[in-house]
Structure 1
Amino acid sequence: MIIFPKFLKALHTVLFLAGYLAIAVVASIIDKGGSPGLGLGIIVTATTIAAVLVFGQIFVRTKYKRAIKRQKQTASHATTAAPVTLSAQVSESYDHQARTVWSLIRTAESAVMLSDAQRAFTVPGTPAGVGEQQCFIGRDGSVSLIEVVGEESPWWATTRTLSPTGPNTRHTYRLEPTVTGCTLTVGIVLELQASAEWSPAHKAAWQTHTRQYLGRVKEMLAAQPTGPSTL
């Protein structure tokens, strides 16, 4: 893979020199044949063209090496730059107590009713509570995995997305009591490389998706009797 390009480069140089020498020989023959001006002109022209080609090749190679060096420096800077932390959140109030809402959203299986998941389950072998992992399979075949990194029932929980390639993503679910029930706030925090893109459109799309989730929670709660408070 390395020897072949080097061979072509050497062959190119040999052919270039051979061509130049051939032109010089022809010019010498013409010169001896009685046309010294024509022979000299041929040699001067050939020499000028050869010089332009050589210096042009050197110029192009220098520009190419500088461009590659700048590209590597840019990639290295993007990799080593401090990550950018971005966040967003959406809230919804319900006429139900916090424990009722918590019971609905806490289990992995509830994602089938509250989102576009076709199947959802707690990963076998993981503990209940902190360390619990939940797997979600979308209707499009996509698979996502989260881990509970903190919670206090029935008030809050924090999860992180388990992905070897995606950004460091955490979701928070916080319930706060109100006079008529409670308010659920869903938040997201992302750590992205400085070169990554997170436009207002991405944020708006996440907020729209989360509002749909919160709206679905309200629909599911409306189908249940309010009942007396258990808190």
Structure 2
Amino acid sequence: MKRARVAYAGAIHEAVPHHQGVQLADGRVATEDAVVWLPPFEVGTIIALGLNYADHAKELSFGAQEEPLAFLKGPGGVIGHRGVTRRPAGVKFMHYECELAVVIGKEARKVRRETAMEHVAGYTVANDYAIRDYLENWYRPNLRVKNRDGGTVLGPWFVDAADVGEEVALQMRTLVNGQVTQEGNTRDFVFDIPYLIEYLSAFMTLSPGDVILTGTPEGVVDVKTGDEVICEIEGIGRLMNTIAGDEIFGR
């Protein structure tokens, strides 16, 4: 089942897909552009993975990882489908990252990989922007690269884990202004979902609503003010947002 959270007519609603846009829990139907799209669930801690596709690591001239490169993201960075992400003036290279977002459904503490998938509630699409100008070094992504207001887009749909199944092998791609610039498949993870849950839960408790961003494949390109970026993941959804300059953010 696919479901979303949207703001409409002064209230927040759960919604499901409808051929005219979305259908609210009370039965009303609204077009996609008549609602404000929110992240499709209450977001907890965000754990992001870097270099979790070998082709992307090679693209950035980095070798294979012995263990996951993980870091945390603050809640202020999250926006929903059709949101706007800021490109600061003077930046030379800012790129999207199409990622499968894994949503935790029940507390995970010292979980073994054999039972790890029991802790997954479902999935959504993420677009986690990065500004390479600000990168200090590959093993320590700093705050300005990965914790930017409005720099992490989630949605539009939350999809139940049961609808995806145990074997998560999903085709994914990114389009910039209608042109395909990135393609990959989640079967190419360096560290798969059960491994990540076992690894993370060994030293931190994962709670319902926590999100694991599983990394992006090769094919990242610089995005400019005015660009429309769409991230698609098979069976999960089609996440769109646009890039804007400092002026609309009052910077």
Shorter-chain TM-score category?
under 0.3
Q: Which has the larger radius of gyration?
A: 1
* Structure with more of its chain in helix, by fraction: 1
TM-score (norm 1): 0.23
